[in-house]
């Protein structure tokens, strides 16, 4: 999978995109919502999501318009 590095988001950026109060809430979402996008990179403390996948999920679930 070829990914533009500019499209990678860390937990803080995912939280901001979703309007969450803290990056820590992203881990709650990961556990609570089975359909929450899986990180495309997850190695130790480095966890990154593909922005288009997060945006699509947020739109489908009504979290953003």
**Does residue 46 lie within any of the structural domains?**
yes
**pTM summary value:** 0.92
- Structural domain of 36: 5-60
**Does residue 35 lie within any of the structural domains?**
yes
User: Exposed e or buried b for every residue in 43-62, given b needs 16+ CB within 10 A?
Assistant: eeeebbbbbebbbebbeeee
**Does residue 65 lie within any of the structural domains?**
no
Alpha helices in the chain (DSSP H): 11-18, 24-32, 51-60
CB 48 within 8 A of CB 9: yes
**Does residue 29 lie within any of the structural domains?**
yes
Predicted confidence (pLDDT) per residue in 2-23, tens digit: 889 999 999 999 999 999 999 9
**Does residue 31 lie within any of the structural domains?**
yes
Predicted confidence (pLDDT) per residue in 31-57, tens digit: 999 999 999 999 999 999 999 999 999
Domain count, the chain: 1
The domain that holds 41 is classified in CATH as 1.10.10
CB 13 within 8 A of CB 30: no
């Amino acid at each position: 999978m070829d990914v533009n590095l500019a499209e990678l988001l860390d937990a803080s950026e995912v939280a901001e995109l979703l309007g969450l109060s803290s990056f820590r809430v992203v881990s709650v979402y990961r556990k609570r919502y089975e359909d929450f996008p899986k990180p495309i990179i997850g190695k130790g403390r480095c966890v990154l999501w593909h922005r288009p996948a997060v945006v699509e999920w947020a739109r489908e679930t009504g979290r953003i318009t």
